[in-house]
């Protein structure tokens, strides 16, 4: 029996699983594979160098799947920021119905998207930020626990607490992000009030993920302790795979006398991280990965992964239901 949550109904998907927007990973090949498997695939807008390149990628993805897919638009701190309004306009012009937003000061972009009747999922690491996003009119919140890859926020709140606080406080439906890789996690998230889950690192480790096989094999071999939290000194804490360069960056950060970001900048270059995905040298640059790497032990296709997650989630929910039934019967 297919899932029937607010997320599946609103987005037109079969399995309540959203593929996270990931820089240098969220291309058409992966997004289409996730959507074809019944989840929601996501293109990453800023992976494309220009808005017109994003238009081409959207059209490429549309040729690869007839199912719904979305676009991630993340607002990053930068001396010369991208033309976010132009990226958003391409998304609107191309008829995309679902956008995942993230980052600081998303108000103007969200307003632009909502005027076009686009469904907006906004990623938050705190309840305070979630409430601010609600005021902007978002349709869903993606609650990002401390376990997640990439920007974890500065509060270190894990999903067991954060999701329960979301259930208590928020009047807008939410999905759970950070620490999810299987159906048991999906069942747990729904038990805590979520309408579905968002997975990033788990989708990196699939056949269709357009990154080098060495990266996928490194994830399979890794333990949950093999990540590093870097850039906390500059209140931009980011969870990275614990390779040589991320550990060097952390050492510089801790030992720096000046506290100048320029000392660590060469280590955390995004260009070097992209080279990792292209060449397979997992120690060449930094790349994001969540603590969920300890739960990932294979490299399935997206179809195999989502079919497995759906089956595991149903089994987990049935098991909990049977425990309640057995308890009730024992009292008769």
Count of domains observed in the chain: 2
284 in any annotated domain: no
Say if 285 falls within a structural domain.
no
Radius of gyration from C-alpha coordinates of the chain: 19
> Do 165 and 255 fall into the same domain?
no
Identify whether 260 is part of a domain.
yes
Residues 194 and 130 in one domain: yes
Tokens of 58: 């959207």
Give start and end residues of each alpha helix (H) in the chain.
6-11, 28-36, 51-64, 84-93, 107-115, 127-135, 159-169, 183-191, 201-204, 213-221, 244-255, 270-279, 302-330
> Is residue 108 located within the same domain as residue 233?
no
Please report whether residue 327 resides in a domain.
Answer: no
283 close to 245: Cβ distance less than 8 angstroms? yes
Q: Which CATH number do you get for residue 304?
A: 3.20.20.70
Q: Which domain holds residue 257?
A: 227-279
Residues 86 and 235 in one domain: no
**Structure token digits, residue 222:** 């890794």
Task: Report helix, strand or coil for 175.
Answer: strand
Do 176 and 266 lie in a common domain?
Answer: no
152 and 180 belong to one structural domain: yes
Give 328's DSSP letter: H
Whether 136 maps to a domain, the answer reads: yes
The pairing of strands 119-124 and 140-144 is parallel
- Asked if 128 and 249 sit in the same domain, the reply is no
Residues 33 and 143 in one domain: yes
Q: Can you give the pLDDT of all 332 residues of the chain as single tens digits?
A: 579 999 999 999 999 999 999 999 999 999 999 999 999 999 999 999 999 999 999 999 999 999 999 999 999 877 789 999 999 999 999 999 999 999 988 999 999 999 999 999 999 999 999 999 999 999 999 999 999 999 999 999 999 999 999 999 999 999 999 999 999 999 999 999 999 999 999 999 999 999 999 999 999 999 999 999 999 999 999 999 999 999 999 999 999 888 899 899 999 988 899 999 999 999 999 999 999 999 999 999 999 999 999 999 999 999 999 988 655 566 66
DSSP annotation of 31 reads H
- 3 state SS of 104: coil
94: left (phi over 0), alpha (psi -120 to 50) or beta: alpha
Same domain, 116 and 194: yes
Q: Are residues 310 and 274 in the same domain?
A: no
Residue 290 lies in a domain: no
Whole-number Å distance between alpha carbons of 12 and 2 = 12
Kindly state whether residues 30 and 124 are assigned to the same domain. Answer: yes
- Do 123 and 266 share a domain, yes or no? no
Residue 220 lies in a domain: no
């Amino acid at each position: 029996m297919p899932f029937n949550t607010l997320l599946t109904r609103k987005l037109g998907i079969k399995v309540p699983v959203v593929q996270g927007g990931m820089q240098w990973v969220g291309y058409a090949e992966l997004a289409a594979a996730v959507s074809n498997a019944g989840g929601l695939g996501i293109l990453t807008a800023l992976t494309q160098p220009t808005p017109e390149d994003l238009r081409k990628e959207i059209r490429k993805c549309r040729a690869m799947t007839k199912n719904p897919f979305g676009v991630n638009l993340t607002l990053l701190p930068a001396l010369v920021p991208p033309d976010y309004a132009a990226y958003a306009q391409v998304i609107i012009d191309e008829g995309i119905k679902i956008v995942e937003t993230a980052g600081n000061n998303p108000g103007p972009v969200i307003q632009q998207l909502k005027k076009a009747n686009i469904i907006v999922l906004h990623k938050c690491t705190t309840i305070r930020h979630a409430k601010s996003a609600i005021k902007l009119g978002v349709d869903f919140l993606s609650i990002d626990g401390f376990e997640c890859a990439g920007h974890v926020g500065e509060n270190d709140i894990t999903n067991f607490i954060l999701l329960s606080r979301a259930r208590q406080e928020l009047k807008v439906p939410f999905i759970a992000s950070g620490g999810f890789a299987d159906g048991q996690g999906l069942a747990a998230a729904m038990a805590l009030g979520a309408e579905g889950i968002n997975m990033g690192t788990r989708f990196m480790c699939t056949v269709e993920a357009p990154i080098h096989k060495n990266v996928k094999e490194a994830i399979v071999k890794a333990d949950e302790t093999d990540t590093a939290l870097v850039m906390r000194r500059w209140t931009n804490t980011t969870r990275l795979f614990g390779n040589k360069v991320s550990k060097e960056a952390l050492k510089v950060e801790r030992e720096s006398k000046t506290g100048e970001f320029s000392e660590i900048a060469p280590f955390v270059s995004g260009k070097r991280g992209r080279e990792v995905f292209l060449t397979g040298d997992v120690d060449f640059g930094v790349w994001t990965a969540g603590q969920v790497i300890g739960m990932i032990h294979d490299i399935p296709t997206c179809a195999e992964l989502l079919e497995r997650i759906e089956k595991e989630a149903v089994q987990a929910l049935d098991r909990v239901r049977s425990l309640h039934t057995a308890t009730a019967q024992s009292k008769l």
